A and B are shown apart, each in its own frame.
Chain A
Amino acid sequence: MARYTISDVKTYEGDNMSDAKTVTLRVGGRKVDSLCKAVERTTDLKTLNGLGNGIINECYIDLTLDKLRELDDDTDAQTAYIKSRSRFLDSDNLRIMVIKLKLEKDQRLNDLDYGYLMSLLDWSNNDLPLMPLLEFGEGVETPIQLQIYQDFVNQILERRFNYGRLSDIAMSIPLYYPRRRLERLFESYHDIKPTFVAMDLSNKRVDSIPDGKYSTIKEYLSRDGIDNTFLYGINVKPCKNGGSSVSALDVQSIHWSFNATGPTHHKPVKRVIVPNDWSNAGRVFDKGELQYTRFDDGNLGPFIEWVDGNYGFSFDVDYSKNERSTYSYLKRYNFINANRELMEVSESLRKGETEVVDHAFDRLPVGLRGK
């Protein structure tokens, strides 16, 4: 019996080439009934409460093979490790554990390792078990990565019968999987026919993935006329770096069929020393244009007011006078506003209206509208 269900499908039926679709994803008493951005590292309880429940709480567990072996099947150690990387586990949001296991060159999993991994996946707070992803250390070439991942998927699928909660494990697709090999990956899940599929973008933007990959995934998801599907993006870069105003591609991901996207987990490799002023303080989500833009006279005031209203202090318009970092507050401000926009789109789709989606689509750069 499927542990998760996807229902209440409402698809965009306007004239644009948007694949926007809203659904209700349910697991037990928890549900996600709106397009959304998943909880981020900077999200706090105040921000979360401001949205109400109904979004995805991604618990991103990255670990090395050595760490997996260190945890073995000690549930206390596993729980401690998971908790060190997750938050709001007691909230009513739907918790999805995204495990990314890093294998260095020449490292391979043995029987015991698979046991540890299954035990981790079976963690009681993991509402929707998802096929873990594998990441590789440098020097592991694509053919080897594909072979290892395919064997890994087969192993997990075989072992899932020993863990009742994992019987309908959802599917994950690593970035390195070529489009023309996806069929084999889907075939591995033939007896599950997963309707929840997570695609790892590995810190790329949604428009950086070859269009053909989306159409292939969509084709498989809609096979046999099934439309109750949920596409989740892992490790999604929200917008382009560079440029002053750039498309909010995290929100615009709805046109590529995404029902929800998670935050990026890549850390910047290089710190850049920039002038200490608002124009370099990060980008702010512009709801009207669906862009991320640099701070200016128009958007600075509302941000300062929002921080004041929610946290009881004001940032100074003279950036150099601020003692606190603006980073986490800006991330929360963007998070709540982007999610509100997505909720509005969902509401519009449910009513069978097209205007809000059309408005969003029209704000895509021209080159992306024929996606």
Chain B
Amino acid sequence: MRMEYDEDLIEDILYDIEEQECDKLVLILVGSRQQPMMKTRIQKMSLIYNQAYTTNREHEAYYFGGYSDDIDESYTSLLETGVLMSKSSGYVLSEFGENLISVLKNKGNDKELVDRIGRMEQSLGSIEDKSLVAITYELFPDLAEKSTIARSISPLIKSLMLNDKPLVDWNADEFLNHVRKGEIIHTRRG
């Protein structure tokens, strides 16, 4: 049975989330995926989103590559408030989270954000988490400088093919253009 929520309360909660760009981004990212989304994937997808669409460079070089403390705080607090739930080491929307998303999607203000993330998921949805990490290490190398796992990622970077072209031959702009257009990128090991 689907729970009924007080519409005013949903509006009040969304009012706070809308003031928090990262909360909104995480909510829509998790909502756009059909399967549980790991923290690593949320970090890397938000990094790619910011590179593709914003001047926001909040991701910093950290121990596992590009990392945003704001994004980290967002998925933690969305979990604490029951908007997200953990499942299979990742996050999914709770029923309440799904309610929030459906209201958000109907709001004009955030339609563009929802559409962009939809296209991004369409483009990158089939790429497994580890390959997504490798892509961010190769295309945004400044953010991989402090990484403690760079050595273990290196073989994957060398062998990964994106749409039959080696990852090392891609550049960031070319990749981000695919993401913006929602063009599917498939990967395989070369």
Contacts and interface: CB of A to CB of B under 8 A. Distances in A.
Contacts of B16: 178-180, 210, 212-213
Interface string A177-204: 0111100000000000000000000111
B80 A242 contact: no
Contact of A203 (B12, B20, B76): B76
15 contacts: A135-B80, A136-B82, A141-B94, A141-B96, A143-B5, A143-B6, A144-B82, A178-B12, A202-B77, A205-B69, A210-B16, A237-B73, A242-B62, A242-B68, A273-B148
B91 to A, nearest CB: 11
Which of B9, B13, B94 is the most central at the interface, judged by chain A CB atoms within 10 Å of its CB? B13
Contacts of A302: none
A145 B81 contact: yes
Interface of B: 5-6, 9, 11-13, 15-16, 19-20, 59-64, 67-70, 72-73, 76-77, 79-83, 85-86, 94-96, 148
Nearest to A273: B148
Given A138-B79, A210-B16, A272-B148, A143 B96 contact: yes
Contacts of B148: 272-275
A292 B81 CA distance: 30
A17 interface: no
Interface in A229-281: 237, 240-243, 272-275
B147 to A, nearest CB: 10
A241 B72 contact: yes
Nearest to A208: B73
A208 B5 CA distance: 27
Contacts of A272: 63-64, 148
Contacts of A144: 82
Contacts of B5: 143
A8 interface: no
Interface residues of A, number: 35
Contacts of A175: 77, 80-81
Interface in A20-52: none
A343 interface: no
A181 B16 CA distance: 11
Contacts of B96: 141-143
A139 interface: yes
A211 B18 CA distance: 12
A290 to B, nearest CB: 18
A210 B20 contact: yes
B84 to A, nearest CB: 9
Interface string A100-140: 00000000000000000000000000000000000110111
